[in-house]
Amino acid sequence: QVKTNINFRVHRLKLMECRQQNDETIDGFVTRARTIAKKNKEKIQQIKLKIDMGVSGNTLAIRTYHQMYKSAPTTVMLKPERNIRLMAYNGREIKCLVSIHFQRHSNSSESHDTKFYVVEMDGPPIIGLPTCEAMKLMTIHCDHIMDSTPDVTTIERLKETYPTLFDILG
């Protein structure tokens, strides 16, 4: 018999003035360089990010991309990201237009590069499991307990070994 105990622990993270709003969203800050009056200044934009621990990448809807970058190229000018195939939970393919990198700043004044895929779909920007782990928003604790496995060779033996798992119809 194999028992697996997995505990997800979601941590609060202060990322600039970041605060936890609820279980699924955080207020995050990303920075981008912008030339204003021929001087380089940093502009900080606040975006709401949805945490999805079942996703392996970070996505940003094209609409949000255009809101962040007013002078950004149109979708016609964006080239599809090669060798990237994004799939929704229902199996539908999500068209990836381009990937962009954000500098994410932590409390220790370190900056980290975070990759987002700009996609043709609506919805909030999503950060996936790898970014959540890198930002220490959550940790996964997993214990595997192995006992000897019973010798089950027939259906009758299976029902005897695990009587609580089968009802009259099973």
Encode pLDDT of 13-34 as tens digits: 333 333 333 333 333 333 333 3
Instruction: Give the span between the Cα atoms of 67 and 82, in whole angstroms.
Output: 24
pTM to 2 decimal places: 0.56
Asked if 54 contacts 26 with a C-beta cutoff of 8 angstroms, the reply is no
pLDDT over 60 (residue 158): yes
Domain boundaries, the chain: 2-165
In words, the CATH class of domain 2-165 is mainly beta
> Averaged over 136-161, what is the pLDDT?
77
pLDDT for res 22: 38
Instruction: Give the span between the Cα atoms of 148 and 139, in whole angstroms.
Output: 29
pLDDT for res 132: 86
The number of beta carbons lying within 10 Å of the beta carbon of residue 62 is 19
Encode pLDDT of 60-95 as tens digits: 898 888 877 776 555 545 666 778 888 888 888 888
Bridge partners, 15 (sequence order): none
Asked if 119 contacts 97 with a C-beta cutoff of 8 angstroms, the reply is yes
